[in-house]
């Protein structure tokens, strides 16, 4: 697991962003969530505690966190972006049936980056790998 909420808040303060209770809630929700939630999911989870908070507020804050480098935005397959507070190098397995994204650790494929760089002349800045399939829950459901 990456940074703590406190470290993230320090980092935000240094970029001049005011820390509101809403921002704190969104950020800590993301950092404790393993499911790479969408903005709508975050809204549904937090709106009982923050009745005045809109989906737009959440989107704007997520954008802000992405720009500050605190979280990354994952745009896979479906239209809605998901957000991931784990910035370490890790890979994703994605269920084609329900869209769930699961993290898994695998040694970073730096040799792929080296090969790409050599063949294309690109200055490689990173890559992502996705594994596609059907998650255990969906598999169980289909087998019944």
pLDDT at 13 over 90: no
Whole-model pTM: value is 0.72
Q: Which residues are annotated as a binding site for Fe cation?
A: 127
Topology agreement, domain 5-84 and domain 91-143: no
State the sign of the Cα–Cα–Cα–Cα dihedral 99, 35, 131, 143: negative
Contact residues for 134 (Cβ-Cβ < 8 A; gap 6+):
95, 96, 97, 142
Task: Give phi and psi for 102, each to the nearest 5.
Answer: -120, 135
CATH number at 5-84:
1.10.10.10
Q: Which residues are annotated as a binding site for Zn(2+)?
A: 95, 98, 135, 138
Contact residues for 137 (Cβ-Cβ < 8 A; gap 6+):
98, 100
Return the domain boundaries, the chain: 5-84, 91-143
pLDDT at 42 over 90: yes
Q: Which residues are annotated as a binding site?
A: 95, 98, 127, 135, 138
Contact assessment for residue 88 and residue 142, using Cβ atoms and an 8 Å cutoff: no
């Amino acid at each position: 697991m990456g940074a703590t909420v406190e470290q993230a808040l320090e980092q935000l303060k240094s970029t001049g962003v005011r820390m509101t209770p809403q921002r704190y809630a969104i950020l800590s929700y993301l950092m404790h969530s393993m499911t790479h939630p969408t903005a709508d999911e975050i809204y549904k989870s937090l709106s009982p505690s923050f009745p005045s908070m809109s989906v737009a507020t959440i989107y704007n804050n997520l954008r802000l966190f992405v720009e500050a480098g605190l979280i990354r935005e994952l745009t896979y397959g479906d239209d809605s972006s998901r957000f991931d507070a784990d910035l370490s190098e890790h890979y994703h397995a994605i269920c084609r049936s329900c869209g769930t994204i699961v993290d898994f650790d695998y040694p970073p494929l730096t040799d792929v980056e080296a090969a790409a760089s050599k063949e294309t002349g690109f200055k490689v800045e990173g890559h992502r790998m996705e594994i596609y399939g059907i998650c255990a829950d969906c598999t169980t459901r289909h087998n019944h």
